[in-house]
Structure 1
Amino acid sequence: MSTTLPARAGLAAPYERLAALGIVLPPAPPPIANFVTHVVEGRVLYLSGQGPREADGTLHTGKVGSQVSVAEAYGHARLTGINLLSVMQEALGDLGRVRRIVKLLGMVNADADFDDHPSIINGCSDLMIAVFGEAGRHARSAVGFGSLPGRITVEIEAIVAID
């Protein structure tokens, strides 16, 4: 008996899409302070903010606009999206339970005069659409901050509708 739910509306299952993208989900990163990585309330999964942490624990840090390029920070947002997917996997046991990515809040550790925050957070948004198809399209905020924990370049949190 398979525990994987069938693909929706003829779309490839999320795991098939991840494989096609060459992505292997790392273990979910542990919380860095006094909070949990996720909360399930009814049919909604709330994901705490994640950052650009490599599987070996390395964090990407610096100010976007002066120390970190838009292209690098886009990659950091994509990596953060992979970490969000890892937390979803841990929370749900099966990414096939994701009905829709409802909302992302993307925070960028940016110079005061930097104004291209949406281009950075597209790294995560593009990944969610690539993995979940139309169910990955979401509402979103992309904002700049003077600093983020540990000087990370981006932090992203998510709200996900689940089955």
Structure 2
Amino acid sequence: MPALFISLILAAILAYLWYASLLKKRTSAIEALKVIDSKIDKRLTLFTELCQEKPSYPRPLTDDQQAQLQHLKQLQPQYDWDQPIEESNVAGGSLSVSIAAWQQIDQGLEALLTTVNKDKLCADQLAEYIQLELDFVHAEDFYRKAVEELNSGVKIFPGSAVAKFAHIAPMPIFDQVKE
């Protein structure tokens, strides 16, 4: 009887430690999402400022480029997810929509920047924009690693049992989201 009691206590301790580990990994992923959200907002705003008409640079964007920028600005509200992570992290939930919109905005801004004449842009703002782009990539990499650890922890035993009990689900990775 004492061996059974000790086994149950050890199992409970193991389950709690696994739960704490899963929560820490999920919290890290959520923090990375907040950084990604912030960086994409700043990039979109800064790119818009970079490409404003100036006396030294009239009509910096063609009509096609302007339309692409407007399309990216219209995507911006789609990636605001304010639901708790448990509700938004379901198949087709707002987290997947947010990640898809972030990817589309990121790729769209990269494509637009390659077509703009950078010689006439403000060098300081351009350097700040490029730094924001690098920060976005680093945050995306951090998120990807945190989610890979979380997802592997959720999928293997005893994590799968603990995750079901604690309502912790695998999170989408940027590469897995279809545009």
Name the TM-score, length of structure 2 as normaliser.
Answer: 0.26
User: When you count strand as a share of all residues, which structure comes out higher?
Assistant: 1
Higher helix share: 2
